[in-house]
Amino acid sequence: MGSEPTWSDDGWWTAARRIDSPNHGPRPDAVAIELVVLHSISLPPGEYGGDQIERFFTNRLDIAEHPYFERLRGVQVSAHFVIRRDGEVLQFVSTERRAWHAGRSQWAGRDDCNSWSIGIELEGLEGERFEPAQYAALVPLLRALRRRHPIRAVVGHEHVAPQRKQDPGPGFDWAGLRRRLRWSPRRFPAAT
């Protein structure tokens, strides 16, 4: 019987493969981490399994590798976690730090979601379905985050930046996630 994954003192989850991104900053003083923002990503769009996401979040993506990558020239972003199609969890930024994932955003009357949220990217394309292995990895990660931080809500990027973003999109199974977690419906977007 294995032991339950734990947290390092500085915000790294032992169940995730650590890949340090330089794209982060300090959180504002005395701000509680109360929100999780779910995203979807694939590079290039619709292609899975490569290391392009890892290279993108660590500023090592070769933009000459694919025509789509030209639009990413000079872009510096990150998320705290990425969940691959096979369920592998990668962590790029400590949960104690402010990752650069939500951009201009607002939830429950509060702006700048990056300052008070955790960003989780699911390898996938907005509107397409996600893999059972990804939900199987997402549930324990969300539970672990809630044990470490006072998480009040789990939302999509589409909910915090509706004029700009559409991910994770209609392919994401919000009802299934709620059933698996057994958390109050108040912790999720009303329309899910």
Whether residue 185 contacts residue 177, with contact meaning beta carbons closer than 8 Å, is answered with: no
Between CA 105 and CA 162 the distance in angstroms is 9
State the residue range of the domain holding 150.
17-183
Give the SS3 label for residue 172. Answer: coil
- Position 73 in a domain: yes
Task: Give the mean pLDDT per block of 10 residues along the chain (192 residues).
Answer: 80 98 97 98 96 98 97 97 98 98 96 98 95 98 97 98 95 96 93 60
Global pTM?
Answer: 0.96
Q: Is the alpha carbon torsion for 107, 133, 7, 27 positive or negative?
A: negative
Q: Is residue 8 part of a domain?
A: no
Tell me, what's the pLDDT at 174? 97
Predicted confidence at residue 3, as pLDDT, reads 66
Tell me which residues are annotated as active site.
Answer: 121
Residue 46 lies in a domain: yes
**Can you give the CATH number for the domain in which 99 is found?**
3.40.80.10
Number of compact structural domains in the chain:
1
Task: Tell me how far apart the alpha carbons of residues 156 and 174 are, in angstroms, rounded to a whole number.
Answer: 10
Residue 12 placed within a domain: no
- 5 in a structural domain: no
